[in-house]
Chains A and B, each alone.
Chain A
Amino acid sequence: MNLSTLLTQYGDLYLRALLNTWRLTAISFAGAFAIGVIVTVLRVCPVKPLRVFGDFFVQVFRNIPGAAMLIILVYALPRLRVLLSYEMCVIVASVLIPSAFCSEHLMSGMNTIRPGEIEAARALGLTFFQLIVKIIIPQALRSTVLPMTSLAVGTMLTTALGSQAPLRPHQLELTGVVNYINSRAVGGILAFAVSAALYVATALVIGWVGGRIDRKVRILR
């Protein structure tokens, strides 16, 4: 099968798969980011049980393999009467795992903040939450754009878990679509090359955008 027949026959499917991968990546990254920020606030707050919980959360989701996570979501949760759609399972896995890494990046971003800034904020009478929201988080974010960029690429790679859940054809993402084509026709190397090229192109675009944002907001110390 050559490229033109592959694309005329399965072009729509690839396009939809590309859009699905983008959509899953965007949703998951946004969710991972939000949860990562919240968990990081828990991990540095003065209330010890919340700090312990935040650390526990990060260690669990940082260290669990994606396959194990997805299998638990897809097969174990229904037996506990927690029913999620298959696509939701993929999203939950690709939110929770990157969120742990997001929190780790933010923690190391916080460590680059000069102690004087925190002392100054406290001397001004800022409360803990004002300190976190106005001083700590903005600076931590500005100094972690590049790790967050690779986290976005990592999130995209995690969404390939979608190929492991029994999704319907129109829900397939870039890895699942290759599997699907190979099960119906001999797609061969080409079917893989198309998906791989789309993945790499997306990763390069994310990297380029991240680099631009980084140059704009990075704090020069």
Chain B
Amino acid sequence: MSAPSIRERLYESPGPKTRRRIAAFTGVALILLGLLLFLIVRQFALQGQLQPRYWDFFLKGSTWRYLGAGLLSTLKAALTAAVIAIALGFLMMRGKLRRFRPVRWLCAALVEFTRGVPTLLLIYFFFLVIPRMGITIGAFWRITLPCAISASGIIAEAFRAGVNAVPVGQTEAGLSLGLSNLRVFYQIVFPQAIRFVIPSLISELVIVLKDTTFAYVVSYADLMQNAKVLITSHDSLVSVYLVVAVIYILINYGLNKLSDRMARGTKKPAEAGQAKRRPA
């Protein structure tokens, strides 16, 4: 493997005395964690939440088909929002690197705005104000657009960091070959920058996916909303919400792992090339 992680560096192989102490602490920790788990399960049992009627419908295919349909809508909304956010973020990044000051300032203001305002406020804006302005958009867009706008500023900054990570000599070499500014950017700088940016784009998808759980505000039938229907039809709130939370956690965990793996793959050239800052 590569360099030892912080965990390996913090302690070397213990001597017999330390080993005994660690064993003792391990025993105590196991007992305490076991006790915690026992108390949680006991609380479930005492309140009757472990009764089969709260859990047996998870054995039925129809339950999972229904949750799967909700999950599909969630993924559809999240992916659409992510694509829009990447497009907006790209435009904002281009604007922030412009020489023309008003464009630069406008894009910088947009980045600060989208990063400083909670997604929920934007969702309420699309839910309460846009229809009153006489613009009718469906529930799908009422959840995707605010999620996209909310993520676009962070994506713009991620793009900018990626572009800045490309050594400035690349731009200089392109320009001295007589290429135009645009060709230097799109043929030389951006293809290299995108490699650094992909991991953060994937972790952005996690943020967008989490934001789409507010879809119930605009009554878009996502995973959360379908879970609510299951709850009313089976009268079992705790089990359904726990299962749905686990589904979200597993998907996001997988996306984060993917992002980590891609980051490890692209790290070496980033460290090799001196990350000189491009003039803004």
A220 contacts B by Cβ under 8 Å: no
- Which of A29-37, A84-92, A181-189, A210-218 contacts its partner? A181-189
A75-B113 contact, Cβ under 8 Å, with A46-B11, A128-B11, A178-B121: no
Q: Bound state CA distance, A47 and B26, in angstroms?
A: 5
Chain A residues numbered 100-126 whose CB sits less than 8 Å from any CB in chain B:
107, 110-111, 113, 115, 118, 122
Residues on A with C-beta less than 8 A from B55 are none
A59 & B253 in contact (Cβ 8 Å cutoff): yes
Q: B3-27: contact bitstring with A at CB < 8 Å (1 yes, 0 no)?
A: 0111101111010000000100110
Asked if A133 is an interface residue, CB under 8 A from chain B, the answer is no
Is B179 close to A, CB under 8 A?
A: no
Contact, CB under 8 Å: B9 / A118? yes
A53 touching B121, Cβ below 8 Å: no
Indicate which residue in A59, A110, A161, A179 contacts B124 across the interface (CB closer than 8 Å): A179
Cβ A67 vs Cβ B119 within 8 A: no
A interface residues, tally (CB under 8 Å): 61
* Inter-subunit contact A72/B128 (CB<8 Å): no
B residues 92-128 near A (Cβ < 8 Å) are 112-113, 115-121, 124-125, 128
- Residue on A with the closest CB to B18? A46
The SS class assigned to the A binding surface is helix
Does B43 contact A64, Cβ atoms closer than 8 Å? no
Q: Is B65 an interface residue (CB 8 A)?
A: no
Chain B window 168-212, contacts with chain A (Cβ cutoff 8 Å), 1 for yes, 0 for no: 000000000000000000000000000000000000001001110
Interface residues of A in 131-167 (CB under 8 A from B): 131, 136, 153, 156-158, 160-161, 163-164
- A71 touches B (CB below 8 Å): yes
The residue in B29, B118, B250, B252 that gathers the most chain A C-beta atoms within 10 A of its C-beta is B118
Set A66, A131, A196: member contacting B213, Cβ < 8 A: A66
Q: Mark B29-43, 1 if CB is under 8 A from A, else 0.
A: 110010000000001
Closest chain B residue to A48, Cβ basis: B26
Candidates B30, B112, B213; contact of A65 at CB < 8 Å: B213
B116 close to A199 (CB less than 8 A): yes
Contact A199 B33 (CB under 8 A): no
Q: Of B47, B206, B224, which one neighbours A79 at CB under 8 angstroms?
A: B47
The interface residues of chain B lying within 8 Å CB-to-CB of A113 are: 6
Q: Does B248 contact A (CB under 8 A)?
A: yes
On whether A110 and B26 interact (CB within 8 A), knowing A62-B256, A79-B47, the answer reads: no
List 19 other contacts, CB 8 Å, given A46-B11, A118-B9, A204-B112.
A46-B25, A49-B26, A60-B249, A65-B209, A67-B216, A75-B237, A110-B6, A111-B6, A131-B10, A156-B118, A157-B118, A160-B119, A175-B121, A179-B124, A182-B124, A188-B129, A188-B132, A200-B112, A203-B112
